[in-house]
Structure 1
Amino acid sequence: MAKNFFSGTSLRLKDGTMVDAGEHLKGKIVVLYFSASWCGPCRQFTPIMKELYQQIAATNQPIEVILLSRDYMRFQLDEYYESHGCSWGVVPLRDPIIEKCLEKYDVKALPSCRVVDEFGNCIDANARQSVEFYREKYKMAELFNKWTEKGNLERIRA
């Protein structure tokens, strides 16, 4: 069986609890959200991610949004997270998984999103565009279905 891509990585949940990302994300499709408090386009896109996350949570589907911040200081990240009412998990600043993800998924600009399975296999390399397109069409449920197609779920549950 393939190793969970996120095993050994700490993840801070909304309530401040630190968990092993590998365990928390097991069996889930993961929306990696690359953002920063100092990024104007990120401040515009984060409310859309919040809307996405709320809609995901309402469906009880095995999907999780994870913030990989490019902020410099924890207080910047915390203020940004709180001021936008975020409730998804956050990888601690400067955790090596952030650089690993930036490189692996060829992230060149902020904000960016990639949808991956727990093993790090990319499901949607253009997730930001997907979110914006399906949101404009008021069809977020279709986007969830696209990401959680039978093949994707069977692969991560195998």
Structure 2
Amino acid sequence: MSEFMKGVMLLKQDLSEVPAEEALKGKVVALYFSAGWCPPCKQFTPKLVRFYHHLKKAGKPIEVVFFSRDRSKADLEENFTEKHGDWLCVKYGDDILTRYQSKFEIKTIPVLRVINAAGKMVVVDGKSEVVDKGKADPLGLFAAWEAACNK
């Protein structure tokens, strides 16, 4: 992932840490800005979980990184471990959350942005794409994201 998330440690589902560079290398990366208290997030997260698991089962190189807007570390950990897919999470209080909210123009949640290896946004409204196409044609949607990342 070039310099994009260099030096950042991400959480796995078991709350152990993994270097972002290692976990994201060679993958299509979707940044998911969400929170457990947010009703639209509660509606969208299960759809994203199904989409993600379908792609992983098919062997596709996808990774979701959850950027939590939860109000406490305990809320983040409960939300992440109980409601999310087997993806990665930015640690509570990490300053990358504020930087990336600005960089990727996050005004409301939930938001799903797909980025390329250089950290450039290549899909602005991944949420709508998952809602519209994620169930009917997950592999086709992934192929479009992969092509956008490789341009």
Structure 2 alignment gaps of length 5 or more? none
Q: Secondary structure at the match of 1:148?
A: helix
Per-residue displacement from partner, 1:74-124 (whole Å, max 9, x unpaired)?
A: 111121123325311111012111111111111111000000023211110
Q: Secondary structure at the match of 2:134?
A: helix
For 1:15-54, list aligned pairs within 5 A: 15-54=14-53
Structure 1 alignment gaps of length 5 or more? none
Q: Please state how far the C-alpha of 1:43 moved relative to its aligned partner.
A: 0.8
Equivalent in the alignment of 2:95 = 96
Question: Which amino acid is 1:109 matched to?
Answer: T
Q: Which moved more, 1:107-116 or 1:78-87?
A: 78-87
1:145 aligns with 2:138: no
1:77 aligns with 2:62: no
> Could you tell me the TM-score, scaled by structure 1's length?
0.88
Equivalent in the alignment of 1:110 = 109
Q: 4+ residue runs of structure 1 moved beyond 4 angstroms?
A: none
> Could you tell me the TM-score, scaled by structure 2's length?
0.92
Percent identical pairs in the alignment equals 32
The alpha-carbon distance between structure 1 residues 99 and 85, as it changes in their structure 2 partners (threshold 3 A), is closer
Q: Which moved more, 1:110-119 or 1:127-136?
A: 127-136
Q: CA RMSD, aligned part only?
A: 1.7
Q: Secondary structure at the match of 2:70?
A: coil
